[in-house]
Amino acid sequence: RKEVEQDPGPFNVPEGATVAFNCTYSNSASQSFFWYRQDCRKEPKLLMSVYSSGNEDGRFTAQLNRASQYISLLIRDSKLSDSATYLCVVPRETNFNKFYFGSGTKLNVKP
């Protein structure tokens, strides 16, 4: 298994739809997980941190499944402005100062 794997997409969804992405990881000891969004040619911006079973912030919900070693991101009531690439980030098992970055999942929300 790769350290962090994401479906590259693109996920093309209409406005108002609910969409979910999964991220699988290999570091079973990791205690923290992060979702970032990255717009084209911009820096990654922190969307959500997950330190336990999950986290929710408005329309966004992240859920952690430790048994199957994946973390999901659910976006409800998609907006055009949600169109971006979503990156999954996990600390490395040999050095928590370093991180594995997923290659990202591209989301296109269409009118």
Binding residues for another protein, rule: CB under 8 A, are 30-32, 34, 41-46, 49, 87, 89, 91, 96-99, 101-104
Provide the 10 A C-beta neighbour count for residue 108. Answer: 14
Nearest distance from C-beta of residue 38 to another protein, angstroms: 9
Nearest distance from C-beta of residue 57 to another protein, angstroms: 13
* Nearer CB in complex with another protein: 17/101: 101
- Which H helix or E strand runs over 34? strand 33-38
Say if strands 33-38 and 45-50 run parallel, antiparallel, or are unpaired: antiparallel
* Nearer CB in complex with another protein: 46/80: 46
Amino acid at 31: Q
* Nearer CB in complex with another protein: 11/44: 44
**Two structure tokens written together for 111:** 């009118």
